[in-house]
Amino acid sequence: MKRLSLALLGLALAGCQPRPVNTIHDARVVVTGTGAAVYATIDDKGGGDRLVEVELDGIGRAPLHDMRIENGVMKMREVPGGFAVPAGGQLRLAPMGKHAMIESMANPPRPGTTIPLTFSFTRQLRVHTTAKVESGTAMAM
Ligand SMILES: [Cu+2]
């Protein structure tokens, strides 16, 4: 009886912890003044997903931005619908491309530290990771 209970408990716990589908690596936060950009690579190991928001835990939400060239000028725009992570593929947040950005923070994280981030997806919901904080210039963002 005790053995059966333990087996059931094991099944229940397994049910609460679905296999991770997205893995996030090379996450970094580049701070410029009171703003910060978040870069990372997200690998999908399942049926695809959509990144909708990044949060610097305890600091604030970083909306998603994209860059595009308009009339020969590079412009940044907010993308409220987020970015697709292709099934079995990769989403890269990188300088001069897709990224997450906080435009103003009361207490920016210090370069050289590591901070926790939460990535929110439509299917896999929330994934926690950590990122190194670097100092940057406006041009690098
Ligand atoms: Cu931006």
CA of 58 to the centre of ligand 1 (A): 20
Which residue, among 39, 133, 141, has the nearest Cα to 96 in the 3D structure? 141
CA of 53 to the centre of ligand 1 (A): 13
CA of 43 to the centre of ligand 1 (A): 22
Domains and CATH numbers, the chain: 20-140 (2.60.40.1890)
Residues with CB under 5 A from ligand 1 (ion): 65, 76, 101
**Angstrom distance (rounded) from CA 59 to CA 38:** 13
**Angstrom distance (rounded) from CA 138 to CA 110:** 17
CA of 124 to the centre of ligand 1 (A): 24
* pTM exceeds 0.85, yes or no: no
Q: What is the pLDDT along the chain (141 residues), one digit of tens a residue?
A: 455 555 555 555 555 555 556 899 999 999 999 999 999 999 998 889 999 999 999 999 999 999 988 899 989 999 999 999 999 999 999 999 999 999 999 999 999 999 999 999 998 789 999 999 999 875 544
pLDDT at 102: 94
CA of 129 to the centre of ligand 1 (A): 20
pLDDT at 45: 82
